[in-house]
Chain A
Amino acid sequence: MEIPLLVQPLVILLSTAVLTPLIDIVGKQAKAEKIRDIFAIAGFLAAFYSLINLQSAISSSGRQTYILGTFGVPAGGVQLTADLLSVYMALIFCGIGLLVAIYSVRYMEVDSGLDKYYALLLTLVAGMIGVAFSGDFFNLYVFWEIMCISSYTLVSFRKYRWEPVEAGFKYLVMSTVGSLLALYAISLLYGYTGTVNLKALSTMISSGQISASPLSLYFAIGMIITGFGVTASMVPLHTWLPDAHPAAPSSISAMLSGVVIKTGVYAMCRSLFTIFSPASFDYGTVLMIFGILTMTVANLMALMQRDIKRLLAYSSIVNIGYILTGVGFGAYALTHYSSSPGLATPVAVFALMGAMFHILNHAVGKGLLFLCSGCFVHEAKTRDIPELEGIGRRMTWTGTSFSIGLLALAGVPPLSGFWSKLFIILAGFSLPEDSFMKFISILVVLNSVFAASYYLWLVQRIMLKEPKPKIAGAVEAPASMLLPIVILAAVTVVIGIWPGAIISLAESAGRVLLGG
């Protein structure tokens, strides 16, 4: 029996996850423990390859759908569906997962229980890809929880230290309550319509077949934004992130900051834009305001940190703010200029393209930064920035890549972060008669300048200062840890210099949200 192309990545990742502990037992008996790492990396490679096949199949013949079982009224069933947006996100998730798995071979070798580590890493990525491929809320919730449970366990992986255990508990409580709020919103939507299928929900709500008042639909929208916003770490709900990301092993921090929080943004955008047409529901304003709040608060907090991983964690929250603001610009333009779609649609496409492009840039950039900081912490045995000063001069490759990552996120022109920030800001200015959007974009510009200041300050401290005697003996990381770092740094530079291909991918992903 041939497995459909759409299900292949999930089947590969989940079966690799199940087999990894068994391979580990065999490997221990054969005195070849690394075989389990190689097996997990092979799983990621195979999944990545099948995703590339899926991408080319979708771009040539359109959306793919696979129904696992049919039941329920109308068009129910467990439906997997992939369009250009899903596969765009899935490629980012799987790519970062692959590089993190390569990095973990040497980085995690001092830890025990690595069979579970790789199995959880595989289920984490499988969960995220499943969220991206879900065509109904039931499916989305199940994959969402697969992802969440794997990440709680990975955050508290080093359970012999107090910090991961505490941070893991805080993360678990906040994130579980958030997902349950989202599930409550799903149950309300199910109550109004009798279905959990995204497409069916969208048709029923836009055609007005249901008896629910707009107020109760706005209640569901609020619950969805709050529920998924916890994982996306929107500002009033972000407090778990600066604890959980530094406490996790650096490879997992790269995963969490790079892609897991993006899954929150993806789930929020997908459910809002698909079900509630932005022309008739005004959630763009809320997203814009929360985006601005998120980046401003996190910028101020980031400046006060001494811990390098904590600073990077706050900077992840800042970047979620940019993405939310970009998505908010798109929805706002469609809501407030719905009478003139010729004016609003190009702005919305542009804003969503910027947001999707920034998702990729931040995933690559923040993955790079956390992997580099993992190398620094591995060598210097400290996360304190004053003690790490000058370590980049001892570890040239890591230090240079770290600086490239920081400059990219600061938005220095030839690097990738510049383009996506530019697009989001330009989208805000492209309706010059709208003073609210202009005001928000001015705040975005101010925030990026502010953020650039501490990125550059960090470059100066890590790369330019004289190393202290305590870290004078630091040596370069082993080659298998450098490989993912150098790949990510190269991707940042290449996207920055030739952004054309990625822009067209991000644009087609953004158009999917608008129903195109």
Chain B
Amino acid sequence: MVEPWQLYAAAASAAVIIGMYGVASKRNMLKTIIGIEIITSSVGLNFLALGSRGGTVDPLAQSIVVVSIAIGACVAAVALSIMINVFRHYGSLDLRKLRRLRW
């Protein structure tokens, strides 16, 4: 018998992989940022799934998720502002256009 929290945890780990795929493969900066946001949300979902095994959701998990959402918003704000500056420099959001950094 599969319990609901197991389904949620499985969905969360799948979403982490989807987010990583988005970060690694997409050429558009906005899509990269969306990938990061997907990982943030899915980690939060994993906390809630693992915290809800007793039938009710543990307040510790809830508070962690609320704070991690706030932190995710800050990271997104910084990422978007850097993205705007990249657009001002290059007129494009294509990551291939800004590979001027050497290895």
Interfacial residues, chain A to chain B (CB-CB below 8 A):
71-73, 76, 138, 141-142, 145, 148-149, 152-153, 156, 159, 162-163, 165-170, 172-173, 176-177, 180, 183-184, 187-188, 190-191, 194-196, 239, 242-243
Contact = CB atoms under 8 A, between A and B. Distances in A.
Contacts of B100: 162-163, 166
Given A156-B85, A168-B82, A180-B43, A163 B58 contact: no
Contacts of A196: 60, 64
A141 B68 contact: yes
Nearest to A195: B60
Contact of B103 (A169, A187, A239): A239
Contact of B85 (A159, A183, A239): A159
B43 A183 contact: yes
Contacts of B29: 169
Contact of A145 (B46, B59, B64, B71): B71
Interface string B72-91: 00110011001101100110
Given A72-B59, A72-B60, A145-B74, A165 B82 contact: yes
A173 B59 contact: no
Given A71-B63, A149-B74, A195-B60, 20 more contacts: A71-B59, A138-B63, A145-B71, A145-B74, A145-B75, A149-B78, A159-B82, A159-B85, A162-B90, A163-B101, A165-B82, A165-B85, A166-B86, A169-B83, A169-B86, A169-B98, A187-B46, A191-B9, A191-B50, A191-B51
B10 to A, nearest CB: 13
A316 to B, nearest CB: 16
A386 to B, nearest CB: 16
B71 A172 contact: no
Contact of A190 (B61, B74, B90, B101): B61
10 contacts: A71-B60, A71-B63, A145-B71, A166-B101, A169-B79, A169-B86, A176-B79, A183-B68, A191-B51, A239-B103
Contacts of A183: 43, 68
Nearest to B47: A187
Given A168-B82, A173-B36, A162 B75 contact: no
Given A169-B79, A169-B83, A187 B50 contact: yes
A172 B7 CA distance: 31
Which of A149, A172, A177, A187 is most buried by chain B, counting CB atoms within 10 A of its CB? A187
> Nearest 3 A-B pairs (CB), nearest first?
A191-B50, A72-B60, A187-B46
A100 B58 CA distance: 43
Contact of A176 (B36, B49, B101, B103): B36
Given A173-B36, A191-B9, A142 B67 contact: yes
Contacts of B74: 145, 149
Given A163-B101, A176-B36, A184-B16, A72 B86 contact: no
Contacts of A170: 101
Given A71-B63, A169-B29, A173-B32, A180 B39 contact: yes
Contacts of A177: 20, 23, 36, 39
Contacts of B90: 162
Nearest to B45: A187
Contacts of B85: 156, 159, 165
A72 B58 contact: yes
Contact of A165 (B50, B86, B103): B86
A207 B36 CA distance: 36
Nearest to A194: B58
B31 to A, nearest CB: 11
Contact of B36 (A168, A180, A187): A180
Which of B16, B32, B50 is most buried by chain A, counting CB atoms within 10 A of its CB? B50
Nearest to B89: A162
Contacts of A148: 75
Contacts of B82: 152, 156, 159, 165, 168-169, 172
B101 A167 contact: yes
Nearest to B60: A72
A6 to B, nearest CB: 21
A176 B23 CA distance: 11
A327 to B, nearest CB: 27
Contact of B101 (A72, A159, A243): A243
A172 B35 CA distance: 13
Interface in B1-33: 9, 16, 20, 23, 29, 32
A141 B67 CA distance: 10
Contact of B78 (A138, A152, A194, A239): A152
A437 to B, nearest CB: 32
B96 to A, nearest CB: 12
Given A72-B60, A176-B36, A190 B89 contact: no
B32 to A, nearest CB: 6
Contacts of A138: 60, 63-64, 67
Contacts of A149: 71, 74-75, 78
A428 to B, nearest CB: 31
A141 B74 CA distance: 14
Given A162-B89, A173-B23, A190 B75 contact: no
